[in-house]
Amino acid sequence: MKSAVILFPGTNRENDAIKAIEQASGKRPEIIWHGDNDLPDVDLIVIPGGFSYGDYLRCGSMAAKSPIMRAVITRANNGVAILGICNGFQILTESGLLPGALMRNSSLKFICKRTNLLVENADTSFTNQYKLNEIINVAVAHHDGNYFADDETLNRLEGEGQVVFRYSDIDGNVNDETCLNGSQRNIAGIINDKGNVMGMMPHPENAINNLYGGSDGCGLFNSIMEAI
């Protein structure tokens, strides 16, 4: 499997993403700079976390308009798998590849902690190695992860199985108490209607080795290998 990781000024999780992809696929992804106009021929494009362009204007808004994103949008429309993590999720919503927006956490605080996620759809290219309703434990590290969309969009996402992960407790309870950032309906990760573009605020790429506190994120990268 050939893959690319996009690098913007301010991206800081690219090495974590590279490590996770390399571990799952045995192949090192190519690093692509935001100012490039073209992408190599790849099966997977990952937009990693960080603070692209210093989060100026709105998180992800500048990156979404950068030259490389035009190429990413074309690839997305051609069915290539795209994964946006944290700032990558913000960039995907700002570029229009995923619906909704990521707003300031309801607590107004930067949240850096471990959280449980309920797997709501285990039938995607990104989650086929998980079981439906499985609970996975991963880290979040963000200031603007509060998912917002209008009710019509939220109903459509839920109706079409496009809500992939929700913030939950260890028993899978999804409620206001387990919603660490104020996201509507506890949404932590969504997928587009074609099933090839996924965005999530938590960091599966930081949970790939039990020596570093957990390996629940491996399932996501192994799922992509299985699907491609």
Partner 1 sequence: MKAKVNITLKNGVLDPQGKAIEHALLSLGFTGIDNVRQGKVIEIELDEDNAEKAQADIKNMCEKLLANTVIENYDIELLG
The residues annotated with a catalytic role in the active site are 86, 203, 205
Burial of 134 (0-12, 13-18, 19+ CB in 10 A): middle
- What part of residues 171-200 is at the interface with partner 1 (CB under 8 A)? 182
In terms of Cα–Cα distance, which of 40, 43, 54 is closest to 12? 54
- Please compute, for residue 9, the number of CA atoms within 13 A of its CA located in the half-sphere on the CB side: 7
Of 60 and 204, the one with the shorter C-beta distance to partner 1 is 60
111 binds partner 1 (CB under 8 A): no
User: Cα angle vertex 147, ends 143, 148, to 5°?
Assistant: 125
Of 154 and 227, the one with the shorter C-beta distance to partner 1 is 154
* Interacting residue with partner 1 among 105, 127, 186, 196 (CB under 8 A): 105
Burial 86-101 (b: 16+ CB within 10 A, else e): bbbbbbbbbbebbbbb
156 binds partner 1 (CB under 8 A): no
Q: How many residues bind partner 1 (CB under 8 A)?
A: 20
CB of 37 to partner 1, least distance (A): 18
Binding site for partner 1 (CB under 8 A): 57-58, 61, 65, 93-94, 99-101, 103-108, 146, 148-150, 182
